[in-house]
Structure 1
Amino acid sequence: MEEFIEYILQFGNLNQQQIDLVLNNAIEIELKKDEYFSEAGKVSQQVGFVLNGVLRVCYYNNKGEEITKYFIDENNLVVDFESFENEIPSTVYVQAAADTKIMVFPRKNWKELSNIIVGWDAIVHKIVSRALMQKVERRSPLISEDAKTRYLKFLEIYPNIVNRVPLSFVASYLGITQSSLSRIRKNIQ
């Protein structure tokens, strides 16, 4: 849980009493690979911080194919922010791509922090802004590149993920078939 406090303190200051309040409002959960943190069609009810493991955000396209949008690994917040904030059904699934340990704040507890800690909303706003920028930075260079270049960029962006998640998830993220990914990997090793 110290990792979460270090993370939060990058975006603003908290005194020890506020830190204790934050920690007292969290619970630690473990998700086994393939279990869901949140699901499409349901309102997101919690904010998490990945302590160990990898999650993926995915959806099903109009052909029924599963598409991986992005991955979330250690020391990152996980929340379907639009669903959580606006209390509307989510359009994506957040699934454990590997066994994952998460520090979780149920909605009521997260809102309580917002009501009690002066400056909490400003910290959250900075975190969300950074996450959105990262998401754009991670996706933009991949759109117009060939498959090999996309894979090499993936390795740059997510250096600790490729050997921890099924290759089908990586292929889906890259927009290629698993056999194409296997060929690419074989040719660059």
Structure 2
Amino acid sequence: MDNQSPIAGDNTALFNPLFSYLRLFKAIPSADVEVIKRELGYRNVAEGEYLLKEGTVATNLFFICDGVVRIVTQNEQGRELTHYFLKENQLVTILDSFNRAVPANESILAACPTQVIVLPKRSLLVLYERFPYLKELIEKLTQQTLLYKIQIRNAYLGEDAMTRYQQFLIRQPEIALRVSLQSIASYLGITQQSLSRIRRNS
């Protein structure tokens, strides 16, 4: 389900959140929007469903309209580790895989019911030729997301489990309310039992 066909007809209104977001950073002519929309897809993703599986090549960039996604890996014991959460108005892919067409070393999956706009790489390359400003804009925003992910993760380094959980509630409260305890525990690097104990004692 990694590939997604463009949506035709009145349903193109589903793509408006992407353009509302992009226009915060650059004016985009309506005529360009209509051309770009024809190359996009849309997906409703159930909790736990993959947008990209580790070991496959990332051929799509996703814009999150509603919901939360997780970027995860598996450790040597086969236990799932959540590295990042991303939410509305963020672009997500596994950038190295997307740029170099190599197998991804991480997976992307929905942490709750999620709606995403799909920007296929093959379509983006064609659009970049026609609208050079779009390439500059998309690359700028993907780099911003990358920096955001790193800054958030660095905030938890060196803290004990209780402090990590308290910082999570402060820094990412909108995510804490929407994803499972299992996902939060995986993100904070603790067991679900430990997280339940911390929640009782906090």
| TM-score, normalised relative to structure 1 | 0.94
Range with bigger deviation, 26-35 or 155-164: 155-164
Please name the residue that 2:122 is paired with: 108
2:26 is the counterpart of 1:12: yes
- Amino acid aligned to 1:7: Y
Range with bigger deviation, 48-57 or 20-29: 20-29
How many pairs are equivalent?
188
Q: What are the superposed Cα offsets for residues 50-78 of structure 1, whole Å, 9 maximum, x if unpaired? A: 11111111001122221000111111112
2:160 is the counterpart of 1:146: yes
Structure 1 residue ranges without an equivalent (≥5) = none
Give the counterpart of 2:111 among 97, 111, 129. 97
Could you tell me how far apart the structure 2 residues matched to 1:15 and 1:100 are?
Answer: 28
Range with bigger deviation, 130-139 or 5-14: 5-14
Residue 101 of structure 1: how far off its partner (Å): 1.0
Residue 83 of structure 1: how far off its partner (Å): 0.6
What are the residue-to-residue correspondences of 1:77-88 with 2, within 5 Å? 77-88=91-102
Could you tell me how far apart the structure 1 residues matched to 2:137 and 2:27 are?
Answer: 9
What are the residue-to-residue correspondences of 1:131-170 with 2, within 5 Å? 131-170=145-184
Range with bigger deviation, 37-46 or 26-35: 26-35
Could you tell me how far apart the structure 2 residues matched to 1:53 and 1:124 are?
Answer: 21
Cα RMSD (Å): 1.3
Could you tell me how far apart the structure 2 residues matched to 1:31 and 1:132 are?
Answer: 22
Could you tell me how far apart the structure 1 residues matched to 2:25 and 2:65 are?
Answer: 18
| TM-score, normalised relative to structure 2 | 0.88
Structure 2 residue ranges without an equivalent (≥5) = 1-14
2:82 is the counterpart of 1:68: yes
Indicate conservation of the 8 Å contact 1:54/1:71, yes or no: yes
Task: Give the 3-state SS of the residue equivalent to 1:123 in structure 2.
Answer: helix
Give the counterpart of 2:200 among 167, 172, 186. 186
Indicate conservation of the 8 Å contact 1:11/1:127, yes or no: no
Could you tell me how far apart the structure 2 residues matched to 1:125 and 1:7 are?
Answer: 14
Residue 172 of structure 1: how far off its partner (Å): 0.8
Please name the residue that 1:46 is paired with: 60
Please name the residue that 2:6 is paired with: none
Q: Percent identity?
A: 32
- Amino acid aligned to 1:161: I
Residue 178 of structure 1: how far off its partner (Å): 0.8
Give the counterpart of 2:142 among 121, 128, 142. 128
Could you tell me how far apart the structure 1 residues matched to 2:30 and 2:176 are?
Answer: 38
Could you tell me how far apart the structure 2 residues matched to 1:175 and 1:29 are?
Answer: 30
Indicate conservation of the 8 Å contact 2:92/2:142, yes or no: no
